[in-house]
Amino acid sequence: MNVVIDRATRGETIGGRSYCDHCRATLSSLDLIPIISFVTLGAKCRYCKKPLSWQYPAVETVTAALFTLAFLNQVFSGSLSLVTLLYLFVLVSVAVVVAVVDLKFYLIPTTFVYGASLIALVYNYFYLDSPIFIEHVLAAFGVGLLFLLIVLITRGKGMGQGDIVLAFLIGMVLGYEGTFAAMFLAFLLGAIVSIFLIVLGRKKFGQTIPFAPFLIGGFLISLFWQSEIINWYLAMLY
């Protein structure tokens, strides 16, 4: 996924051997062991000794944790299925790539989001009952339309076009209730972090920040704890 994050934004092919971003030396298998290689190399390239980005162990660690969480979620729900587990792995992978790319480059790689949306549509068609399948499709178009209106009203200043596609994917995966929870959490997290950055002087009022990481955060939390969030919210109301 680190390769995808870096090369996709440069227009490079994802295939081929990995190389150092500084000296372009081809990396060996020993240089590419997740987390372990970063530690044993002292966070420096074996060949040119230039520092390695902390993006690499961060992405590896977060991905490992999310894959484990997806597996445990299936186990504890009593419905462990290889197809569903692989489906969750795909969603997590796309989520990580999208969040990091938007955080680094202020853009959303919509090709991956379109692909994940298609996979979600096919999965829902075969594994959800017809009424629930329709609900997920309507949720996708509904939240996508909402984000489109935000883009049009703010003329792209309040939201980017890539966020529309990402919101569509979230609706397709989560349905009505899960999408509501994900959006609530995304805007809440976005507001809290924005205020925090303004207080620290890192951002000024009116400046934009990448919103996809917050959408992804809300999406992943809702993906794994949707029922708990909805039950807690309803308990607060009643």
The gap from C-alpha 46 to its chain's centroid, in whole angstroms, comes to: 31
pLDDT at res. 142: 96
pLDDT of 4-15, one tens digit each?
888 877 777 878
The answer, yes or no, to whether residue 235 has pLDDT greater than 80, is no
pLDDT of 57-85, one tens digit each?
999 999 999 999 999 999 998 888 999 99
Average pLDDT estimate for 218-230: 90
Average model confidence (pLDDT) across the chain = 90
pLDDT-derived band at 35, boundaries 50, 70, 90: very high
Q: Work out the number of other CB atoms within 10 angstroms of the CB of residue 159.
A: 20
The answer, yes or no, to whether residue 206 has pLDDT greater than 70, is no
pLDDT-derived band at 233, boundaries 50, 70, 90: confident
CA distance 51 to 25: 14
**In this prediction, what percent of the chain has a pLDDT beyond 90?**
63
Q: Which residues of 200-237 are buried (b: 16+ CB within 10 A; e: fewer)?
A: eeebeeeeeebbbbbbbbbbbbbbbbbeebeeeeeeee
Looking at per-residue pLDDT, the higher value among 207 and 149 belongs to 149
Question: Please, are residues 92 and 66 in contact by the beta-carbon 8 Å criterion?
Answer: yes
